[in-house]
Homo-oligomer: A and B are copies of this chain.
Amino acid sequence: MPTVAFLGLGAIGRPMAARLAAAADVDLTVWNRTAARARDFAAAHRARHAASPADAARGADVVITCLPVSADVEALLDGPDGLIAGFSRGAILVDCTSGDPATSRRIAARLADVGVGFLDAPVSGGTIGAEQGTLTVMVGGHADLLERVRPVIGAFGKKIVHCGGVGTGDALKSVNNALLAVHVWSTAEGLAALERAGVRADVALDVINASSGRSNASMNLFPERVLGRAFPRTFRLALLDKDVGIAAGVAREWKVATPLLQLTAELFRMAHVALGEEADHVEAVKLVEQWAGVEIGGTRG
């Protein structure tokens, strides 16, 4: 029965940790920066509540982190309360943050010095996938480390994919999200132009979604959210901006000319500045609409 610590009980982390707590064969400890959230979780799920990252790591076979950015994980490593102070040799850190490869490689190198393994393991599937244990997990790092933690991450992940060395899970997650960003933005551009040219967005989407121009964005996000003018905050624009930036950085690091990804990174930066920290990622269409002087779906009868 592995001893597992989970750090970061945010929108995705909490249901992931709940899946672990419900697994029969896991001894779970949780930690969260806002301690009350960890206390409440521990009480509700019969888990242990750790006082610090070091306390969480102490005796753990596997430590899972799920934080906004890689720098947040890196910031938990050091000091008397840091993860490294608590880790036992042979433990493994599984970082489910949508992180960046360069920071992940630095973390892996630091942990290797103290005999701790590292896997970057960002997830996709949203809060619903986390609740249902159907997340896709993209894993970078040694394949044998993955085999050791596979039973643990299987509590929340259904499709567990080994991508390559440390950072490749981050790279793949960032590219997936960059493509989402490209699709949201380009579909908004196309629909805004059509709206101005006299084609209603619902008519346009109906055709596009039966044709070659369809994407996850056009089939799911636009009909539900843009036409309905409901922008539930499921995934912050600020985080998608960060992810597109990571993908753009991966391409730059490997010297791959990627004009569309790079321009998309700039556009989401503009949208992030214009729409603020709390906006949902689909609200990026509002900047396209503002430039076009039109509301997508606004001319419906």
Contacts and interface: CB of A to CB of B under 8 A. Distances in A.
A68 interface: no
Q: How many copies does the complex hold?
A: 4
Interface in A133-181: 136, 138, 159, 161-165, 167-168, 171-172, 175-180
A260 B185 contact: yes
A101 interface: yes
Given A168-B197, A197-B101, A252-B249, A176 B212 contact: yes
Q: How large is the interface on A (under 10, 10 to 19, 20 to 34, 35 or more residues)?
A: 35 or more
A224 to B, nearest CB: 13
Interface stretch (A34-42, A75-83, A187-195, A225-233): A187-195
Nearest to A253: B197
B273 A266 contact: no
B199 A171 contact: yes
Contacts of A255: 196, 269, 293
A190 B179 contact: yes
Interface string A81-97: 00000000000000000
Contacts of A264: 186, 260
Which of A159, A176, A245, A248 has the most B CB atoms < 10 Å from its CB?
Answer: A176
A164 B198 contact: yes
A171 to B, nearest CB: 5
B179 A215 contact: yes
Interface stretch (A49-57, A59-67, A201-209): A201-209
Given A172-B199, A172-B203, 15 more contacts: A136-B210, A171-B194, A175-B191, A179-B190, A180-B212, A189-B256, A189-B258, A190-B247, A196-B254, A212-B216, A215-B216, A262-B263, A262-B266, A273-B291, A273-B293
Interface of A: 101, 124-125, 136, 138, 159, 161-165, 167-168, 171-172, 175-180, 182-183, 185-187, 189-194, 196-200, 203-204, 206-208, 210-216, 218, 245, 247-267, 269-270, 273, 288, 290-294
19 contacts: A124-B210, A136-B207, A163-B198, A168-B197, A171-B197, A172-B207, A175-B190, A175-B208, A176-B190, A176-B211, A176-B212, A183-B213, A193-B261, A196-B256, A215-B215, A259-B263, A262-B265, A262-B266, A263-B263
